[in-house]
Structure 1
Amino acid sequence: MMEPTIKAVFDSCQPNTQETLLTIRQWIFDIANTSESIGTIDECLKWGEPSYLTHTPKSGTSLRLSPLKFNPQKYGLFVHCQTRLIEEFRLVYPDLDYDKNRGILFDSHDPIDEELIKQFIFAALTYQLRKKR
C-alpha cells in the first residue's frame, strides 16, 4: 500500500510519466525482493520526490523518481551525487541523457528501456555492498 503523500506525487504527474514511474517503482520492489543482499526497502519522500532506501541491510544508496519540472514528459532516476553510479554508467552508456552526477533522464514518449533501468536500480540498491569490496 502506498502512503497518501507519495500517491499524491504520482497522481500529479502527466499520465505517460505517471505510468512509467509507477512501473519503475514496482521494479524497485521486485528487484529488492529477488535479492537477499538488498533486503527491505523504505519508501518515503525526499525533496518532495518518491525515494527508495535500503533499510536492512543498508546495501545501497537512495534512489529517487521524479518528473522534470521544466518538462513533465521527461523523468529521471536520481541517486546521491557523491556516489560513483552516474560516472560508472557514463562509461558503459555514454549516449544517455545525464543530469550531472545525479541522475539519468528519460522521455516518457520513448519506449522504456527495461533492462537498462533495472540494471541502474540494482546498481543503486547494492552500491554500498560494492563500495565495501
Structure 2
Amino acid sequence: MDSKVQEVINLYPKEIAQRLYQVRTLIYATAQEHNIGAITETLKWGEPSYISPVGSTIRLGWKKQTPDNYYVYFHCKTSIIETIKEVYGEKFSYQGNRALVFNINQTLNNATLAHCLSLSLKYKK
C-alpha cells in the first residue's frame, strides 16, 4: 500500500477508514477479476485514488461536513454515474454525476459495488 495513502486513510474516523479499506480491497479484487492490469495507487486532491491502465480513476473520500458518509468518486466527464443510475437507480445515493455516497450504517453490497467499480476500471476498454 502506498504509505501516503495509508496515512490519509488512517486520519479518518476508525469506522470510515475500515470501510475505505474494504472498498480499496474490492477495487483490487475487481481489477484482478477483469484482468485490468496494474492499478496505480496515489493521492489526488489529497484523497486515495486508483488509476486503471484501461479505465478511469476511482477516488475515495470522506468529508468532515458529512462525518457519517464516505464517497466513491468517478470522473465527472464520463457516463459512469449515469450508467449506474440506469442500472441501479435508487439502490444508491449519488452526489451529482461524480460520486456514490455511502452512510457508515449502510450495509455494503460488495457484488453490486464491484460491478460499479468495474465500469470505471475498464471504461476505455
What TM bracket, shorter-length normalisation? over 0.9
Give me the TM-score of the superposition, normalised by structure 2: 0.93
Give the deviation of 1:69 after TM superposition.
3.3
Provide the residue aligned with 1:116 in structure 2. Answer: 112
**Counterpart contact for 1:31–1:122, Cα < 8 Å:** yes
The residue matched to 2:108 in structure 1 has which SS? coil
Q: Does 1:19 align with 2:18?
A: yes
Aligned length: 124
The aligned amino acid for 1:12 is L
| TM-score, normalised via structure 1 length | 0.88
| Counterpart in the other structure of 1:46 | 44
Deviations 1:90-128 (A, max 9, x none): 112221211111011000111112112111111110111
The equivalent residue for 2:8 is: 9
User: 4+ runs of 1 displaced by more than 6 Å?
Assistant: none
Tell me the SS of whatever aligns to 2:42: strand
Worse overlay, 68-77 or 78-87? 68-77
Q: CA deviation at 1:75?
A: 0.6
Flag structure 1 segments of 5+ consecutive residues without an equivalent. none
How big is the shift at 1:28?
Answer: 0.9
Do the aligned residues in 2 keep the contact of 1:44 with 1:50 (CA within 8 Å)? yes
RMSD: 1.1
How far off its partner does 1:71 sit?
Answer: 1.3
**Cα contact 1:13–1:72 (8 A) shared by 2:** no
| 1:52 Cα deviation after fit | 0.3
The percent of aligned pairs where both chains have the same amino acid is: 30
Conserved? CA contact 1:16–1:73, under 8 Å: no
| Equivalences for residues 53-72 of structure 1 within 5 A | 53-54=51-52, 58-72=53-67
Contact 2:26 2:110 in 1 (8 A): no
SS of the residue 1:128 aligns to: coil
Q: Secondary structure at 1:93's aligned position in 2?
A: helix
Q: Find the residue that maps to 1:98 and give its secondary structure.
A: strand
